[in-house]
Structure 1
């Protein structure tokens, strides 16, 4: 039997960074994402975010790809949001996402960072957060 332990921190935003995820629906959406991931055998350790984006910390299973996990998490959740009419306009996630591998020694710190998104974004915008990721990992700025 094969064993893997590949932790991933993935970030994705709403289409056009529209602030759909207001306080009244954000927790419901993230709770649903976690429940749905479990049904699809995705170990989604923690999910949280702010008005216009989400952070996920998950473990890739031995038969899973990053692209497939992203598709399953994002696609199903946007469908669920629209079916339940949680937003006035049609909801969708932006096609892009940012993802990095996480060392097992940093899991607790990344988990805490994700859980503290509301406090974090009282000080920094999502754009500032993404700029920091882009600089830290040497990525070129992605445009909408």
Structure 2
């Protein structure tokens, strides 16, 4: 869109179905590179990506014309297909339905990138569920506990 100037930063968080610990250290870097490619091919800017064996955080600079739900759906679909094609999991790999999305200002970029880069250390002290609920509360997002991370 001509004459449209923006900087929109979004942290996307989603988990493996049932929060199963299926993302293995032997292939997680390849998964993150693949997801990075999907995001870039959709014309968006990846700021950071990292996670643990049961979830990932993706921090992007998103253009206003991009539909976030469509982007996340494509990331999940493409990465699931890649994991299955490479036979990385013995079991049927699936991402949870839904996702969390949290917006940030330009002055917060460095702290969000640092937070995402240190996910493994962070989760030695806090569970993913506790982290996710903390995000929901911090951003004043109403949620139903029965559907949380399903």
Q: Same fold (TM over 0.5)?
A: yes
Q: Deviations over 1:70-128 (max 9, x none)?
A: 11212111111111111111211111100011111101100100000011011111111
Find the counterpart in structure 2 of residue 119 from structure 1. Answer: 121
Find the counterpart in structure 1 of residue 17 from structure 2. Answer: 15
TM-score by length of 1: 0.93
Unpaired segments of 5 or more residues in structure 1? none
* Aligned length in residues: 144
Of 39, 42, 60, the residue aligned with 1:40 is 42
Structure 2 residue 124 is matched with structure 1 residue 91:
no
**Displacement after TM superposition at 1:62 (Å):** 3.1
**Match runs of 1:1-144 below 5 Å:** 1=2, 2-138=4-140, 139-140=142-143, 141=145, 142-143=147-148, 144=150
**Displacement after TM superposition at 1:14 (Å):** 0.5
TM-score by length of 2: 0.89
Q: Distance in 1 between matches of 2:85 and 2:43?
A: 23
Q: Distance in 1 between matches of 2:74 and 2:134?
A: 27
Q: Give the 3-state SS of the residue equivalent to 1:62 in structure 2.
A: coil
Q: Distance in 2 between matches of 1:54 and 1:88?
A: 20
CA contact 2:42–2:71 (8 Å) conserved in 1: no
Q: Give the 3-state SS of the residue equivalent to 1:7 in structure 2.
A: strand
CA contact 1:42–1:69 (8 Å) conserved in 2: no
Unpaired segments of 5 or more residues in structure 2? none
CA contact 1:47–1:115 (8 Å) conserved in 2: yes
| Deviation beyond 3 Å, 4+ runs, structure 1 | none
